[in-house]
Amino acid sequence: MSETITDPRSADSNAGAAAVQQMSMQQALNRALDEILADNPKAVIFGEDCGRLGGVFRITDGLQAKHGEDRVFDTPLAESGILGMSVGLAMAGFHPIPEVQFDGFAYPAINQIVCQIARMNYRSRGTLPMPITLRVPSFGGIRAPEHHGESLEALFAHVPGLKVVSPSNPHDAYHLLKYAATRPDPVIFMEPKSRYWQKGPVDVTSAAAIPVTAAHDDGTAHGGSLTGARVAREGRHLTLVAWGAMVARCLQVAELAAEDGIDIEVLDLRWLKPIDADALARSVGKTRRAVVVHEAPLTSGLGAEVAQLITQSCFATLKAPVERVTGFDVPYPSGDLEDEYIPNIDRILFGIQRVLEYRRG
């Protein structure tokens, strides 16, 4: 059960207590799905073990018992079938919310995702939209075996027709998932599985709902709401850009750097497609230095796109090239080597040092 706390922003403490609740990300996602099913009779949730068991991470726990087996159900162990069925359901007027049990299991369904889900609206000239919200437990950090920890954001973001988002905390997870489930386009919802048990305040009031803007639908994103990036920590010497589980790590780094008088800003990108280029320009325009951190391999990782967007908007004022601290150009390792692969505090601090000490020749 979630633990209720008082919302200091509310004049009425009783209303505040009801509005803001302490939840883990797992609980926040579960609540969001519960409310989506209650609000939208066309929403259906399915995947391997999503029904009776409630998913391997218990994100769908209790939803089948509450909403029925025709709304929340198990599927065979066939990701191509899960996503192919999603296409048919969307064509029939439903809003499918499929789950791929682990990120690495998405590979067998790439044909359905790229050739059908991402293209059907374009192919049909808008007559067959694909309002599919694909939940993908993503990234590493849980010491799982091979194919149970991957970082596929660059692959998904490269595909026209898909939107990609990754929350870093319970509040964003709750609201971003509810927002994704209102979109007429397919959204890849990448959940950082290592953060499922992180607790934080979640504002569940209608006032915290995400504004639906036409601007976001045409491929742009805006800061100041959950449709864009979020400044997780204000700073003035350098911007750390991250998403998913790496946001928490960058916040740790920023606290350590502050002990040496280095004031780090942390920008939580959240939307990996469309990227909030305006937020990048504002943050790096202020700090004039940037380090991008992600778990995926370096070569052709999403950090390269972020670095280009920063350079494009801030070239005249940058004091150093944009640095990237990432995973290595090897397959995502199993649990015993995970600590060596995922960017750790020391590697991020060294990246910051390289940028701060850079001198033009």
Give the residue from 343, 326, 229 showing the smallest Cα distance to 276: 229
Q: Is 220 exposed, middle or buried (0-12, 13-18, 19+ CB in 10 A)?
A: middle
Residue at a domain's end among 149, 180, 210: 210
Stated pTM of the model: 0.90
Q: What is the pLDDT of residues 265-300, one digit of tens each?
A: 999 999 999 999 999 999 999 999 999 999 999 999
pLDDT category at 335 given cuts 50, 70, 90 is: confident
- 235 residue type, one letter: G
Q: Same domain for 168 and 237?
A: no
Q: Indicate if 238 and 335 belong to the same structural domain.
A: yes
Is 148 part of the annotated catalytic residue set? Answer: yes
Query: Which residue, of 210, 244, 272, is where some domain finishes?
Result: 210
Radius of gyration of the chain (CA): 20
On whether residue 148 sits in a domain, the answer given is: yes
User: 215 lies in a domain?
Assistant: no
Q: What is the residue range of 61's domain?
A: 3-210
- Rounded Cα distance between 70 and 220, Å, is 36
Is a pLDDT exceeding 90 seen at residue 238?
A: yes
Q: Is residue 301 part of a domain?
A: yes
CB atoms near residue 350 (< 10 Å): 13
Pair 70, 155 in one domain:
yes
CA dist., res. 167 & res. 232, Å (int): 12
Q: Is the pLDDT of residue 222 over 70?
A: no
CB-CB contact of 134 with 95 (8 Å):
no
My answer on whether 261 and 120 are in the same domain is no
Residue 28 contacts residue 169 (beta carbons within 8 Å): no
Q: How far is CA 31 from the centre of its chain?
A: 17
Whether residues 149 and 291 fall in one domain:
no
User: What is the pLDDT of the chain when averaged over all its residues?
Assistant: 89
The pLDDT value recorded for residue 17 is: 52
- The yes-or-no verdict on residue 8 having pLDDT over 50 is no
| Selected catalytic residue, list 67, 95, 147, 148 | 148
Query: Do residues 48 and 183 share a domain?
Result: yes
* Residue 193 and residue 288 share a domain: no
- CATH code, domain carrying 287: 3.40.50.920
